[in-house]
Structure 1
């Protein structure tokens, strides 16, 4: 018969070993953050995103990383629409449809963009104010497609059919030597909806700077001044910020180059800046510079079209 004291000691030692093993396993496990990426079929690898100022793309947030230091927030494409979140069904998540973009393609997933301070661990996520309601996300790894779009967005931006507007002049088509000619631009902000890598992308082009080339070897700009129209009574004595004075008579080819800056948004996500500009030059406009002369005449041009100073007659 075994000694009862030895049996008790053995059982106590076994219990201590099992407890030690169990505690070791618990310590070794990394904590999980569940914010709605479970059982949604997306297989997303990042739960917290930040915007990289160098590329404008979203990248998974890594504690201690300096990426996105200019933006205090991190972002998340919240898929609670599919996971049964309590705060999203009343906003149309569960009834929203995201049909495939191409025949035989994959359907999208309803998501809501959220933000939180990236300095906080396990933060409370709030709705991103620039986007209202759910939107569709089509790529199974959105951080990859966003990076790919960011890598090519400047090229796509520069291929947009942006309207450069017109270069206007007052007086026109004739102006006077030694007098101010008022130039101004007519253009504005323009928006475009395109598809890039299967994603719906909204781009905005905004005029930022103007360069006026007056045709006589002088330019003005780049300047943020678009200029403006003035009443005819002020043409000869009102010099604006974008006026120019020609010192010789002749015909001059004037042009305007507008520099557009841009932003883009993927699937109604946060608007991101485009690192670069789109510069467009208007067709040349002929400015005819005349000089003034005084003379006494007997007839008006209606009475005598060949009278001195009338259109089409030679100066004397």
Structure 2
């Protein structure tokens, strides 16, 4: 596993909704995108190719809680859900403040030399991302462009 350090896996992209802010007491959606990819470089002193396949995501929400998921989740729009809906990767923050949300993607790795057979690497490759810094605060009211009778799928409807 230590030889893989010279051939790093790509970091996933991550996002949150709402972007950069959190309403205390309602779900905040987090999602990440990572795909299988191969990289070339020296391994055990020879030219090799390493294939990385994402197998898990671990969010550290910055409030003492974390969640591990096999899926990176998706945006509310991609899930066809209204804003502030609960998702498999959402989190409800209970206290106001500034939080640093970290994400670590887990990849299974395989390697091969000179186009030969792929061989599995024991263990997982963990790739952290740059944390998202967000502000959590309470909201008593939410201003929206349209009422729920006009837009039943709008925020808070």
TM range (shorter): 0.7 to 0.9
Q: 5+ residue gaps in structure 2?
A: 142-157
Shift of 1:291: 1.1
Which has the larger share of strand? 2
CA contact (8 A) 1:199 1:267 kept: no
- Tell me the SS of whatever aligns to 1:267: coil
Question: Are 1:227 and 2:73 counterparts?
Answer: yes
CA contact (8 A) 2:30 2:90 kept: yes
Which protein is bigger by CA-based radius of gyration?
A: 1
Counterpart for residue 254 of structure 1: 101
User: What is the CA–CA distance in structure 2 between the aligned matches of 1:213 and 1:197, rounded to whole Å?
Assistant: 34
Higher RCO structure (Cα 8 Å, ≥6 apart): 2
User: What is the CA–CA distance in structure 2 between the aligned matches of 1:224 and 1:197, rounded to whole Å?
Assistant: 30
Shift of 1:156: 2.1
1:88-167 correspondence runs (5 A) = 154-167=1-14
Quick one: which of 34, 37, 42 aligns to 1:187? 34
User: What is the CA–CA distance in structure 1 between the aligned matches of 2:82 and 2:97, rounded to whole Å?
Assistant: 23
Q: CA 1:198–1:158 in structure 2 vs 1: closer, same or farther (change >3 Å)?
A: closer
Shift of 1:233: 7.0
CA contact (8 A) 2:103 2:128 kept: yes
Shift of 1:215: 0.4
Shift of 1:197: 5.5
Which has the larger share of helix? 1
CA contact (8 A) 1:158 1:278 kept: no
Q: TM-score, normalised by structure 2?
A: 0.80
CA contact (8 A) 1:262 1:277 kept: yes
Q: Deviations over 1:19-59 (max 9, x none)?
A: xxxxxxxxxxxxxxxxxxxxxxxxxxxxxxxxxxxxxxxxx
1:199-210 correspondence runs (5 A) = 199-210=46-57
User: What is the CA–CA distance in structure 2 between the aligned matches of 1:197 and 1:217, rounded to whole Å?
Assistant: 39
Aligned Cα RMSD in Å?
A: 1.9
Q: Deviations over 1:101-146 (max 9, x none)?
A: xxxxxxxxxxxxxxxxxxxxxxxxxxxxxxxxxxxxxxxxxxxxxx
1:1-316 correspondence runs (5 A) = 154-196=1-43, 199-221=46-68, 223-231=69-77, 234-236=82-84, 238-294=85-141
Q: TM-score, normalised by structure 1?
A: 0.41
- Tell me the SS of whatever aligns to 1:234: coil
Shift of 1:198: 6.0
Q: 5+ residue gaps in structure 1?
A: 1-153, 295-316
- Tell me the SS of whatever aligns to 1:208: strand
